[in-house]
Amino acid sequence: MSGGQNVAVSNITESADSARGEDSPDEGPQQVPVWAGAVTGAVALACGLAFAELVTSVFEWESPLVQVGNRVVDLVPKPMRDWAIATFGTSDKVVLLGGVSIALMLVAVLAGIWMVRGKRVAASVLIGVVLLVGSLAPLGRGGSGPSSMVATILGGAVAIGVMWILADKAAPLAPQQPPSQQVASAPERGGPEPMTGASRRRFLVYSGIGAGAAAVSAGLSGWIRSQAAVASERLGVNLPRALRPRGDVSGSVSVGVDGVSPFVTPNEDFFRIDTALVSPRVSIEDWSMRVHGLVDNEIVLNYEELLDRPMVEADITIACVSNEVGGDLIGTARWLGTRLDDLLDEAGIAPSADQIIGRSVDGFTAGFPTDVLDGRDALVAVGMNGVPLPLDHGYPARLIVPGVYGYVSATKWLSDIEVSTFADFEGYWIPRGWDAEAPVVTMSRIDVPKSRDTVAAGETLSVGGVAWAMNRGIDKVQVSIDGGPWEDADLGEHHENTTWRQWGYRFVPEAGRHEIKARATDTGGYTQTDDQVRPGPNAATGHHTVRITAG
């Protein structure tokens, strides 16, 4: 039975192919139904356009559809243009692109019908003319026009390919008997009818795959474009000046040892920690931030309103709790932002509140004790080292709170600040086993030399690194060589209690292996413990140790 069906299907395909080959004699009822031609054309157009969109979005070229739209605007007489703007207002672009799409769709449907009805030459000529017009539209308009012609032609090729494939799949849909005979006899005989059903299903499955692929790539290109749009929007942002702009970080913070981390970490070298697989792109057009919860007055700010608030600059080192001893998940930047304590004073914190929660557009949440707002420079930050927050560091706004680890405080892509209690809410990492209060631990790191370095024996070796004790400040850093006594290192000048401090130490190693350890003491009198503890539930502790060979 099924073997018989297969033979019959291939017979049908063959006879349809031979009918098609003759290019045009009107065969009336023997032809592929109009709807199949319309679907063929529509799906092919969708695939072609979506592919062109995808290519242009990846290369950040202009969309072919938009270019044709622009050309239409150029060509249309001015009174009509004015009429369109007056009538459609701000949706004039949508109407224009909609109009271009509908026109294309009509042409595609016509081409599709011709295609399935054997008029392949005519269909190809029609498509060719449309592609030519589409490719020429951007010429002389500047921008990415000539490059995106490539995309238009590729899109056209995809459309033609899809059209040929679907036309082949549509061919068996042509009825094999005069319709009168088929309608009368098919149901009883079970002959051509089920085969037509199978062919129709196959045609629809192929069309569905085409439409699905078009939808996916259209969605993807839309997403890529929105990402790129936020990136270019950011470049246009003009940050306000701080009320009391700070001078350059003075040279004296440097301890003058080559290989020690720069005092201010360049944005491109700044560490990144995200739970989101793809970091969000948030346009300032859509952005707003709400301050709410246990407050007297809710505050809602859009980006402009946020920038209108008093802005301050603060040099703050932020650190990740996951940083291993000696690790590099720490960095220092000059942040520009509005003071969080001022903002919350305006909102009026209820006495029962003990936690400030930041929420991100990506669902991340982080909460820290209200006590932390003790006058330190906690900010709703908009700028980092003189530029708007980089996209991956939280553009358009984030929280920066000195003295507590990032996972309880430094919410990027901030959308919401809620005043709450620890009893009512746990931030993202707390149920995952991390400490709820997360004060930054006093720590020092050796940047130079690196473990396994070979250095010259008998010559002065410069050792150096950074040390941090947030909100207390570093009092001293000491170095021990080969388990010997702790010797004081030189310190770069103290800058702020909220920033790290550089240190350096010189000694002359004898030939052989050596072990260098460092430890910091903060102004509160606490000296870094040598208990080696890995991160979790709070930070790692222990002395950073570097082993080298002098030879």
Beta carbon nearer to Mo ion, 426 or 490: 426
Query: How far apart are the C-alpha atoms of 263 and 474, rounded to whole Å?
Result: 14
Q: How far is the CB of 406 from Mo ion (least distance, A)?
A: 4
Q: How far is the CB of 385 from Mo ion (least distance, A)?
A: 20
Q: How far is the CB of 91 from ligand MTE (least distance, A)?
A: 34
User: How far lies 179's CA from each of 38, 114, 115, 235, in Å?
Assistant: 21, 21, 22, 65
Beta carbon nearer to Mo ion, 138 or 406: 406
Q: How far is the CB of 92 from Mo ion (least distance, A)?
A: 47
Query: Pick from Mo ion, ligand MTE, none: which does 270 bind, CB < 5 to 8 A by kind?
Result: ligand MTE
Query: Pick from ligand MTE, Mo ion, none: which does 413 bind, CB < 5 to 8 A by kind?
Result: ligand MTE
Closest CA to 331 of 271, 249, 411: 271
Q: What token pair was written down for 287?
A: 């952005």
Q: How far is the CB of 276 from ligand MTE (least distance, A)?
A: 6
Report yes or no: 479 and 463 within 8 Å, Cβ to Cβ. Answer: yes
Beta carbon nearer to Mo ion, 115 or 401: 401
Query: Pick from ligand MTE, Mo ion, none: which does 469 bind, CB < 5 to 8 A by kind?
Result: none
Query: Pick from Mo ion, ligand MTE, none: which does 228 bind, CB < 5 to 8 A by kind?
Result: none
Write b or e for each residue in 60-93: b if 16 or more Cβ atoms lie within 10 A of its Cβ, otherwise e: ebbbbbbbbbbbbeeeeeeeebeebeeeeeeeee
Beta carbon nearer to ligand MTE, 282 or 347: 282
Q: How far is the CB of 229 from Mo ion (least distance, A)?
A: 29
Closest CA to 33 of 118, 116, 111: 116
Q: What token pair was written down for 341?
A: 């304590």
Place of tokens 């589409």: 134
Beta carbon nearer to Mo ion, 320 or 356: 320
Query: Pick from Mo ion, ligand MTE, none: which does 293 bind, CB < 5 to 8 A by kind?
Result: none
Q: Which stretch binds Mo ion (CB under 5 A): 210-218, 267-275, 453-461, 542-550?
A: 267-275
Query: How far apart are the C-alpha atoms of 406 and 279, rounded to whole Å?
Result: 16
Task: Kindly state whether residue 273 participates in binding Mo ion, applying the rule CB under 5 A.
Answer: yes
Q: How far is the CB of 260 from ligand MTE (least distance, A)?
A: 20
Q: How far is the CB of 474 from ligand MTE (least distance, A)?
A: 21
Q: What token pair was written down for 188?
A: 């009883």
Report yes or no: 435 and 406 within 8 Å, Cβ to Cβ. Answer: no
Report yes or no: 538 and 438 within 8 Å, Cβ to Cβ. Answer: yes
Strand partners, 548: 514
Q: What token pair was written down for 145?
A: 């026009």
Beta carbon nearer to ligand MTE, 364 or 500: 364
Helix (H) or strand (E) holding 337: strand 330-339
Contacts (CB under 5 A) with Mo ion, residues 375-394: none
Site string for Mo ion, 397-436 (x = CB under 5 A): ---------xx-----------------------------
What number of chain residues touch Mo ion (CB under 5 A)? 4
Give the neighbor-by-neighbor strand order of the sheet with 365-369: 299-302, 288-293, 414-420, 355-360, 365-369
Q: What token pair was written down for 389?
A: 């927050």
Interface positions with ligand MTE (CB under 6 A):
270-275, 320, 360, 362, 364, 393, 406-407, 410-413
Place of tokens 């700070």: 246
Task: Kindly state whether residue 76 participates in binding Mo ion, applying the rule CB under 5 A.
Answer: no
Q: How far is the CB of 393 from ligand MTE (least distance, A)?
A: 4
Query: How far apart are the C-alpha atoms of 221 and 232, rounded to whole Å?
Result: 16
Beta carbon nearer to Mo ion, 403 or 504: 403
Task: Kindly state whether residue 137 participates in binding Mo ion, applying the rule CB under 5 A.
Answer: no
Q: What token pair was written down for 537?
A: 């539930």
Residue nearest to ligand MTE (CB): 406
Contacts (CB under 5 A) with Mo ion, residues 303-342: 320
Give the neighbor-by-neighbor strand order of the sheet with 501-507: 443-448, 461-468, 501-507, 490-491
Residue 44 contacts by C-beta under 8 Å, 6 or more apart in sequence?
Answer: 108, 111, 112, 159, 160, 162, 163, 166, 210
Q: What token pair was written down for 539?
A: 């930070």
Q: How far is the CB of 321 from Mo ion (least distance, A)?
A: 5
Q: What token pair was written down for 541?
A: 């502790």
Query: Pick from Mo ion, ligand MTE, none: which does 412 bind, CB < 5 to 8 A by kind?
Result: ligand MTE
Beta carbon nearer to ligand MTE, 123 or 325: 325
Query: How far apart are the C-alpha atoms of 155 and 150, rounded to whole Å?
Result: 8
Query: How far apart are the C-alpha atoms of 10 and 27, rounded to whole Å?
Result: 20
Query: Pick from ligand MTE, Mo ion, none: which does 275 bind, CB < 5 to 8 A by kind?
Result: ligand MTE
Q: How far is the CB of 108 from Mo ion (least distance, A)?
A: 52
Binding site for Mo ion (CB under 5 A): 273, 320, 406-407
